[in-house]
Amino acid sequence: MLDFRKMLPEWSAGLVRDSSGDRGGRKRGGGNNPSSIELSTPDSESIREQPNSPPPVWKPIWLTGWHTGVLACATSVIVVLFINVSLTIYAATNPEYKMERGIGTLYSGSCDKSRTIGLWLHLGINALSTLLLSGSNYTQQCLAAPTRSEIDAAHARRRWMDIGVPSIRNLFKIKVERTFLWIAIGITSIPLHLLYNSAVYTSLSANEFFVIMVTRNHFEPGTYTNTSSLKLHELQEASRNATTGKEYGDIGYQTDSHDIQLLNSMLEGQNTGAQSYDDLTPSQCTTLYNKDFVSSHRNLFLISNYTEDVTHENALLRIDFVNHDEISPSRWMCSDSPQKSYRCNPNELTSRVASGHPWLVAPMIMAMPSDAAEISGCKSERVVEKCKVQFSLGIMIAVICCNLVKACCMVMAVVRFREPTLVTLGDAIDSFLRIPDRTTTGICFADRQFIKKVWRYGLQARPRLWRQEGVQRWWRSVSKTRWITCNFFCIIAITIAGVLLGYGMFHDRQYSTILTRWQKRWASGFGNANSVSLVTMPVGNITQAIFLANLPQTILSFLYLSYNSLFTCMLAGHEWSLFGHHYRTLRVTSPRPGQRSTYWLQIPYTYGIPLMTLSGLLHWLTSQSIFLARVDIWEPFGREVSRTISTVGYSCIATIFALSLGVLALMTAIGMGYKPFAAEITTVGSCSAAISAACHASEADLEGIVGKKVRWGGVGCVPSIRVKHLTFSSEEGVRKPEFDWAYAGVRREKG
β-bridge partners, 318: 213
Strands, E, within 434-506: which ranges? 464-465
Look at residue 48 in the predicted model and tell me its pLDDT: 41
Residue 52 CA to residue 15 CA, distance in Å, equals 41
Helix (H) or strand (E) holding 543: helix 542-578
Whether 56 shows a pLDDT value over 50: the answer reads: no
Phi, psi of 569, deg, nearest 5: -65, -45
First vs last C-alpha separation in the chain: 20
Question: What residues does 325 pair with on adjacent strands?
Answer: none
Distance CA 296, CA 31 (A): 94
φ, ψ at 388 (rounded to 5°) = -135, 150
3-state class (DSSP) for residue 645: strand
* DSSP string for residues in 693-715: HTT---HHHHTT-TTS-BEEEEE
Strands 626-634 and 200-207: parallel
Four-residue CA torsion sign, 205, 211, 217, 221: negative
Q: From CA 286, how far away is CA 555, in angstroms rounded?
A: 42
Nearest 5°: the CA angle 145, 151, 157 is 135
CA 16: distance to chain centroid?
A: 51
**Environment class of residue 227 by beta-carbon count within 10 Å: exposed (0-12), middle (13-18) or buried (19+)?**
middle
Residues with Cβ within 8 Å of 380's Cβ and at least 6 positions away in sequence, in order, are: 277, 278, 280, 285, 288, 289, 297, 298, 299, 300, 301
Question: For residues 154 and 173, is the Cβ–Cβ distance under 8 A?
Answer: yes
CA–CA distance, 625 with 622 (Å, rounded to integer):
5
What's the pLDDT at 221? 66
- Domain locations in the chain as residue ranges: 204-388
Helix (H, G, I), strand (E, B) or coil at 676: strand
- pLDDT of the residue at 178: 92
Question: Which residues does residue 584 pair with via DSSP β-bridges, in sequence order?
Answer: 710
**pTM exceeds 0.95:** no
What digits encode the pLDDT tens for the residues 545-569? Answer: 888 888 888 888 888 888 988 898 8
pLDDT (mean) for 318-327: 74
Whole-number mean pLDDT of the chain? 77
Q: Higher-confidence residue: 57 or 147?
A: 147
**What is the percent of the chain with per-residue pLDDT over 70, rounded to a whole number?**
74
Alpha-carbon distance of 695 to 435, in angstroms, equals 9
pLDDT tens-digit readout, 472-514: 888 888 888 888 888 898 899 899 888 888 877 776 665 554 4
**Where does 119-265 show beta strands of DSSP type E?**
200-207, 209-214
| pLDDT of res. 482 | 85
- What one-letter code names the amino acid at 595? Q
Higher pLDDT: 468 or 14? It is 468
Integer Cα distance of 583 and 640 in angstroms: 77
**DSSP three-state, residue 426:** helix
Round to whole Å and give the CA distance between 284 and 377. Answer: 9
Residue of higher predicted confidence among 133 and 705: 133
Q: Cα angle vertex 322, ends 318, 325, to 5°?
A: 140
Are 655 and 627 in contact by the 8 Å Cβ rule? The answer is: no
Would you report the helix, strand and coil content of the chain in percent, each value rounded to 5? 45, 15, 40
pLDDT in tens, 630-669: 888 888 887 778 788 888 888 888 888 999 999 999 999 9
Q: What is the pLDDT of residues 160-179, one digit of tens each?
A: 999 988 888 899 899 999 99
From 677, 679, 676, select the one nearest 737 (Cα to Cα): 679
Tens digit of each residue's pLDDT (9 = 90 or more) over 203-262: 888 888 888 888 888 777 665 555 544 445 556 566 665 555 666 555 555 555 677 777
**Average pLDDT over every residue of 338-353:** 67
Q: How far apart are CA 480 and CA 3, in angstroms?
A: 36
DSSP string spanning 267-312? Answer: HTT--TT-TTEEEE-HHHHHHHH-SSS--SEEEEEEEESPPPPTTT
Q: Does 157 score more than 50 pLDDT?
A: yes
Which pLDDT does position 370 carry in this prediction?
55
Beta pairing class for 373-382 and 364-365: unpaired
Predicted local distance difference test score (pLDDT) of residue 405: 95
Backbone angles phi, psi at 701, to 5 degrees: -100, -5
Nearest to 55 by CA among 67, 64, 46: 46
CA distance 548 to 83: 26
d(CA 536, CA 166): 41
Question: How far is 518 from 748, CA to CA, in rounded Å?
Answer: 74
How do residues 77-126 score in pLDDT, each as one tens digit?
999 999 999 999 999 998 888 888 888 899 998 988 998 898 899 889 98
The Cα 579–Cα 354 span in angstroms is 71
pLDDT of residue 25: 36
